[in-house]
Each structure stands twice: as C-alpha cells, then as structure tokens.
Structure 1
Amino acid sequence: MEDIVDSLLVRVEGCEPDANQTSFKKLMAKMVNVFKKGKARHEISTAVEEIHKQLQDVTTRHKMFDFANLPAAKRTTTDPFWEVFYGDKKNIIGLEKARDDIIEKISDGDRVSKAHLKILSVVGFGGLGKTTLAREVYDALPTKFDYKAFVSVSRNPDMKKVLSNLLFKLDNRRHARLNAANLDVEQLINLVRELLSKKRYFIIIDDLWDKEAWRTIRYALQDHECGSIIITTTRQVEVSKECCSSKEDMIHQMKHLSDDDSQKLFYGRIFSSEVCRSGFEDVSAKILKKCAGVPLAIISLASYLANNQKNNQIDQWYVLLNSIGRGLEKGDDHVKEMKRILSLSFYALPSHLKTCFLYLSIFPEDHQLSRVRLIRRWICEGFIQVKDKTDSLLELGDSYFNKLVNRNMIMPINIHADGRVEACCVHDIMLDLIFELASGENFVTVLDVIKGSAPLEKKFRRLSLQKSMTDLTNAQMATTSMSQVRSFTSFSPAVSKIPPLTIFQLLRVLDLEGCDLRKSPGVDLRHVLGAVSKPPQA
C-alpha cells in the first residue's frame, strides 16, 4: 500500500498547476492531471484492486485473533530490577566466585612475575555472561593503573575503528587532537604503543571472534614489564589459545550457573524474592532445567513471565514450558535452541513493540545506541502510535523504550537514580535473531551481509550500510533499485559506499551520524537541508 501511495504522490508532485491556486486546489489539480493519463489510470486502478483484496484477507485474519489495543500514552518507567543487575551497585548472581578467582589469578605471583604482562582469556558460548564477568573484574580490581580501557571487537570488526576506539578510551584528548578517524591501522598501532610505553595498563578486549583481529591488537599492546594486564573474551576456544600462547597466560572457562544460582536469578526476576511461590516449584524446576544454567536464557524466560499479565496462573507456565522444546544442551549445539527461547519473548510483544524492536537490526553489533536517538528514529518512521491529540510522541516513545528494557529485550546502559536510561545495546544472539526476522520480512536490509556474487533484486524499504563492504561491488550498487527505500542509515566505515541521494525517490529518514562526508564526494546534502522540517514534537 505504501509503495502505491508514495509512487502516486511522487507522480502528482511532478505536475505544476497554476501557482495562484490554494494548496488544496493545487493537489486536486495535480491529481486530475495524473488520472487523465490512461496508462497511469489503469496502473493505479489495478493496484487499488489488489490492495482491496489484500485488505479483505487481513480483515478475515484479524477477526480470528484477539489483538490488544494500543496503549495509552502513560509513562512506563524502568524496572528497579535492572538497577540491581546493570546499575552501579550490581549484584551479579553466580559470578562472584568467578570474579574473585580471576582477580586472584591476575594479582598472584612474586615481585618479578608481577612485573610481566599477564593475559587471561574468558571463553564460553554466547549467553553465559563473559562480558558481564569481565566488566565485574574491570570494576573490582583494586590495583591502580596508568591507563584502563574496555573495548568491544565483534564478529566482523573494522580494525581501524577498534584501534581508534581503544585510543579514545585510553586518552580521548589525544584521540581528538590527532583526529584519529583519519589515521590508518598502522598509524593507530604506533600511537597506542607510544602512549602505553613504560606505562602500566589494564585493557579488556571483549567479544573476539578470530585470531587475526587479536594479532593486530596485540601489536599495539607491548610488554614493558610494568605489571600490565589484558583480559579477552571469546566464544572460540582456538582464539582463547591464540591469546594465551605464553605459559604464564591463563584461560578461564565459563561455567553454567548452579541450580541454586539459577533459581535465585529466576525467582528474583519474577517474584522479587529468591523464594518460589507456593505451587510453582515443579513447573519452575522443569523450565530451569531446559535453560541449563545459561543466564541469558533464564533471564529471558523470567522477563517473559514477569511481564505476562497471567504470570500468576500456573497453566500459563506450563504453556511456556511446552513451547520451549528440548532445551539447551551443555555443548556446541546450543544456538538454535537459544534463539527459540529468545523468540518466545519476541512473539509475546505487542505488535507496535515488535516493530520498534525489529528496527534495532539497522544498527551494528555492539553499537551503543542513544535512547533519544532511537526514539526520534521511531517517531520519524511513524512507529509511535497516538490515540489522543494530547499524547506526546516523545513521552510515548520513552514508554516503548522502557518496556523493551523491562522485558530484557535490550540491555540498558547508564541508569540514573530516577530510572532513566541513557542508552542501550542488544545482546549478540538477540541481534542475530532480529536480523533474521527483519531480513526475512524485508523489513530491514543490511548490505554488509550480501556477498559480491549475489544479485540485489529486492525492493528495499530500510537500508543500512555498516562496514566497508569489500564483497559488494560498485556495479551491484549501481544496478540496485533504491526506488522504494524509505529509510537510509550509514555508519562511518561504509562512508565511501554511500550512493548519491538523488536515487532515493521516497526517502523519509536519512541518518548519517558520525560519517565524514568529505570521503563520499557523491553525497550532496544541500537539497536535503532545504527540505528538512522540524521533527514531530521535538
């Protein structure tokens, strides 16, 4: 429907009636001019007929289900549980012993051995809490250092961006003064080496996926026998061995939560107590068994039940239990079942929150997304639905955001005393899930994942450029239809691949935040800036 209406409006705007007519008369005159053309009239008539048929099908399906009404624009605050789990006074269930063991390992030794660079790698599959554990050690280690930094790498890293981010975390003034964004990988390595020379540092390299990325980072982190420490986290055993090639280096294998800790995490989220409600012991034990001690799975299902209005009805718990499937295995074959568990939380969302959540697939892995930026994007896309003219789009968007936090769909970053969250990110496994869903529905297209040999035949609606896309050829970009793209987002590594904006006929949302357009001479924003209006209720 949007395709037809937007295409019609573009054709209408192409006509030029008398400038002295009123706005309404102008539009009507333009419409008449279009409908006078036989071919256009036939195309529009056929399209409207097809829309009518599809609407009848939708109406029939709608009557089969009890769809909830859209919520009123009342403010939903974040759950106090998240302040405990993510806030300054964290109480991370089941990780205290592992945290203390790691601190003891990296602090142990005589005066000579303490002077050597120590590397410890935390390894385990997604959802076990590697990043959370590393962050706990990072915050709790009592030793003083000249420099500290916590940097994420991700599955398909842009090493220039990773090293630039490392330099920024170590010394943001130097990063700004040297304009690090314009430096290449070798220059950034040399800058980091120079900065850390004869200094004691503690650096965490989070979410490593391949050996080559580690080798590049390792060039920048030299051992000056000052007692420095590096901690890496990875899902790959081979990568952890590469990180810990010296006999003094250590590997920490993540363990599943014990039954006792699993229960504390599960009951604390649902009942705000570590004690199970009477009558629910058997079903909760069976649900926890299928989670196999994986924190991400436990907290996902607990959040599902905590936000379900029927969470006090035991039959609803059994419905959930029977929908999980065989449960997670303590081995390599875990990803598919983990996604099944997470998908339960997704499908339990109201339709308007599903749309807002799928929209997050536009943003790259490990991207810290500002709450305000995300809400404004939702508003521009038309995802925030108001029922009353007095409703505030920003307040309702804030309510949507907090509901996703409360349901554990997004992870809050920087929680203030009043419960306000500054930013969020999405767990890698959850991002994989929504990427599959959004891509399958042609809701969001991330061009990074399209190989050079693959044809680009879809009519894209929302387009995201995240990396430099070496596999994507210029010829493919040139022959790809952008006629139906409504939303276009590019991130700085892909700036050279941004196509001319003139090819976007129906573009509504343009986000080039952080992009240096001097590296993309084909992008001219003069006409865009001339057409920009004020954001809704901004």
Structure 2
Amino acid sequence: MELVMGAMENLIPKLGELLKEEYVMQSGVREKIQSVSRELESIHAALRKIGKVPWEHLDDELRLWAHDLREASYDMEDIIDSFLVRVDGHEASEVHWFKWFLEKMTNQFNKIKASHEIGVAMKEIDEKLQEVATRHARYTIDNIAINPAGPATVDPRLLSMYKTLAELVGIEGPMDELMKMLDIDLPTKKRKIEIDVSVRKPKMVSIFGFGGLGKTTLAKAVYDKLKPSFDSGAFIPVGQNPNIRKVFRDILMDLDKQSYNDLNLKLLDERQLINKLQEFLQKKR
C-alpha cells in the first residue's frame, strides 16, 4: 500500500490543520484549501483501490499514474509542511524560512511566487492534481487494468446467451408460460406475434431458482423470439454487484452498435451515459 499511497495519507489531516490557522481567513484562501482537500479525498479513495491489487498485476499506464500521484503527494506535503512550520514558530527567523520556502517552491513547481503565500500554493497544488488527472482519465479506475495472473473464466450466463433455439430441448413450454405472464398472445402458424407498445405499460417478470437451471437461457430465448416485434431491444446480463457504468454502456451498444462503440463510451460517466440513453429514446418517440 505504501508503494502506491506515498504521502497521501498525511495530506488531508495536514490541510485540516491549516484550516485552523487565522491567516486562512483571507478571502478565497479557505475555499481553495477545502477544494484541494476534496480533490485529495477522491485521489486517496482511488489509490486505496489500486493498492489492493498486486503491483505486478497493474498495467503500465496505471503504474505511471500511481507513480505520478505518489511523487506529487511528496511535493504537496513539503509545501503544506512549510506553512505549518512557519505557524508553529520552529524556524529560527522569517528570513531563513523565506529563503528556504522560495527555493523549495521554485524547485518543485517553478511557478509559485514567494509573495503569493498559501492561496497561490493551494492553486498550484490544484493545478498539479488536474495535470495528473487529465493524463490518466481523472481517477477513472472502475475497471482496473490488471494483467491476469491465471486463466480467465467465462461467466456461464454469457455462454447461455449464444445458444440458439434449435439447441434447446424442452424449452417451448416454459417460453410459452413466460410470454403469457407478459400478456403476450402466443403466435400460431397463421398469426405472428403482434405487440402494440403504445398501449402497453412496462411489465417485469422474475425468473428465480438455483444456479445452472437455465434461467438466463430461458430469458434470452424469449427475448430472441420477441425482439423482431420491437424497433429496439437490449439483453444485458447483470450480476449481484453490477458496474452501473458498464451496464449503461452495454445497453447503448446493444441498442445501436453503429452509433456507439465501447472505446467512446468508456470516456463517459453515469450522467452522460443516461443522457445518451434519453437521447436515443427521444428519437424513437
């Protein structure tokens, strides 16, 4: 964990100490410290998540990102410590502190002017965080890129999705029963399935049972049979602890593979993905 966290564990408490000092009552300074503190909390949570993964299993980009943040954390700790030391009166003189502080800030950030004091220091820290975040997709590690330590396993539900109706024996009865629950008239040789979506309300039917009974297979078979009656449709397997962003991405890709691709959708957050879904539905009305 130390390999990833650097000085990050100490930064937020030290910023809290700064907030107790009366010179941060200057206009805008307190807000800057609070803003940097919130940013550091986000980074801290992200680094803790990375720290749970063996270092050798992280890909090169994530290692570089963690390294950049770790080094930045040491720089930021030095800056914050300089103010805490000044307030505590541990330095021999203001002149000595000022020279030390100016040299430290010049070496680490090259932009901070000694006369700007803590307000500009907080702004510079925030800019450094933004720079690192921009290069590494702003703490987006929901799907940490890990080099697999062993053979990958395939979710059995995914295998069920690729079985054709011809491969399934004895499934017609359960399919008919499920469609009746959905209030869908069963097709005959002379009549195809006809569904007037304008007068129907959404309906949900649960299929439950032990693992391996074929719940996903049954649901997918009914979906495949009904899909031609709808302009659009999506079939998405979801586990007990789903990644909501991945669920939204999968829905969009199932709805319109030509307009959406996984690479572009990975850049969007939950709100943006919901907006995309709403835009898609608006076009269908």
Using the size of structure 1 for normalisation, the TM-score is 0.19
Report the structure, 1 or 2, having the larger helix content.
Answer: 2
The answer to which structure, 1 or 2, has the higher relative contact order (CA under 8 A, 6+ apart) is 2
Using the size of structure 2 for normalisation, the TM-score is 0.35
Report the structure, 1 or 2, having the larger strand content.
Answer: 1
